Amino acid sequence: MIQTKRRHSLHTTLALAVALALSGCAVGPDYKRPPAPQAQTYSPTPMASDTASTAGPGGESQHVLASMDIPGQWWTLFHSESLNGLIDDALKHNADIEAAHASLQAAWESVYAQRGAYFPTVNASANPTRQDVANDVASGVASNADLYTLTTAQVSVSYVLDIWGANRRQVESLAAQANAQRFQLEAAYLSLTSNVVNTAIQEASLRAQIELTHKIIDEQEKILATLQRQQALGDVSDAAIAAQVATLEQSRASLPPLDKQLAQQRDLLATLTGRTPDQRIDAQFDLDGLQLPTQLPLSLPAQLVEQRPDVRASEEQLHAASAQVGVAIANRLPNVQINASLGSASERTSQLFTAASGFWAVGATVTQPLFDGGALKHKQRGAEATYRQAAAQYRSTVLGAVQNVADSLHAIDADARTLVAAERAEQAASHSLDIARRQLALGDISESAMLNAQLTWQQTALSLVQARAARYADTVALFQSLGGGWWHRQDAGNVAEAKSP
């Protein structure tokens, strides 16, 4: 009966301690989200909602729609099954994505571990001892015996009252860091998918440039053969032949660098999809196999801070820094710890849990830092400075995000106009080359004039390929700068649920 009352008293004390801790205040600033940007546009002057267009491949006009949402699988808008399959493969096997998932899990496990401080620490112990003491100090209570066995079994409880909310602020900080890690995972998804699409576009561009260079070489070989026939008739000088040979060899010399770049792009695709370069990738890309999206989304800057993973991660870092200020303040205030134990000790195991062998103890320790050389004060000031740093970094991240969107919009507009001009230049140069080729066969123009026409067409043809690829890359940049629609991704819910036990 007495033992039961003791246990009840101990339980009541612990319950009151927990209630007191949970009802305490949490010192330090309560986090408030920074205000969203008030800007309504991305340029001081109105930007056209439709781009320039041309009849050639990849020359469609693109329409920027503020009402358009961003699909989670935005890359499907390029309508390439090979690209879709390769990205699915990359999302399953990329090492960086796997590492980001593990990092997210580790971050939340740290939160759960810190939450454990909300509850008392309870330990059970059993301590059997066999002891021989000097006869002179043998206890009369124990019949003056100097050799005896003592068994002690007890449960000890220790609990630190969270009066000032230090633990709650620490949990708040760790939870914010875990959320930041979640958005870093989203950023890793976005970076991976964007890199795969950009690599595919670059591969397609390189294949087009290599194919075009082979055509240029074939054309130059035909011209050289024509000049050599004319030289045999005495109509062409050795200097003209030498100039044409030099031009031909320059074109041949441009092939190895293009082949090298193509091989490197294939190596990059292998790495992005979790392969080594020796493993085969069946998917190959050319510009004709990619369809330029004609409708593009646009979000206001206020929406952008919700959509960009890097902005969301930066905000969570700001939240974590805010909570750490509260932790630093609480560490300078009195600390209360309650310790309790309940157990039994007996020389005989059979009598270990009888009423006569029971014992219990309840105590509290109040600790107030008095002098630490200013360490806690400077730690608080350091936490406050870290918070100001995080706030400045957040503003910088937001400004950078808005700049990314503005840059992408300007690039989309400018590169559309560049493609129109490049296609006109290539058509004019190609027509000029056809005329020069016929005139050269009739001997109506000089070899230098033919060479100039040939070089002009070569430059304009390569520029046209590059301008076409640039429009695809600009489109990728826009989707990436707007956040990539991660909130609509099919597995986004699973990632968000990772924070729950």
Please state the domain count of the chain: 1
287 domain-assigned? yes
What digits encode the pLDDT tens for the residues 317-347?
Answer: 999 999 999 999 999 999 999 999 998 888 7
User: What is the separation of C-alpha 190 from the centre of its chain, rounded to a whole number of angstroms?
Assistant: 7
- What is the chain's mean pLDDT, rounded? 88
> Which residues form the domain of 236?
37-120+165-332+392-499
Cα–Cα distances in angstroms (integers) from residue 89 to residues 47, 82, 85, 168, 196, in the given order: 38, 11, 6, 41, 11
Q: Is the model's pLDDT at 276 over the cut of 70?
A: yes
In 3D space, the residue among 467, 401, 413 whose CA is nearest the CA of residue 64 turns out to be 413
The closest of 476, 167, 496, 490 to 312, measured between CA atoms, is 496
Q: Does pTM surpass 0.95?
A: no
Here the CATH number for the domain that contains residue 183 is: 1.20.1600.10
- Look at residue 381 and tell me if it is in a domain: no
In a domain, 363, yes or no: no
* Residue-level pLDDT at 303: 93
Q: Residue 189 domain-assigned?
A: yes
Summarize pLDDT for 386-445 with one digit per residue, the tens: 999 999 999 999 999 999 999 999 999 999 999 999 999 999 999 998 998 888 778 787
For residue 54, list its beta bridge partners. Answer: none
Closest among 390, 316, 291, 318 to 84, alpha carbons compared: 291
**148: three-class secondary structure by DSSP:** strand
Query: Does a structural domain hold residue 276?
Result: yes
Write out pLDDT tens, residues 281-318: 999 999 999 999 999 999 999 999 999 999 999 999 99
Strands ordered across the beta sheet of 358-367: 121-132, 147-160, 335-346, 358-367
Residue 376 lies in a domain: no
Examine residue 116 and state whether it is found in any structural domain, yes or no.
yes
Residue 368 within a domain: no
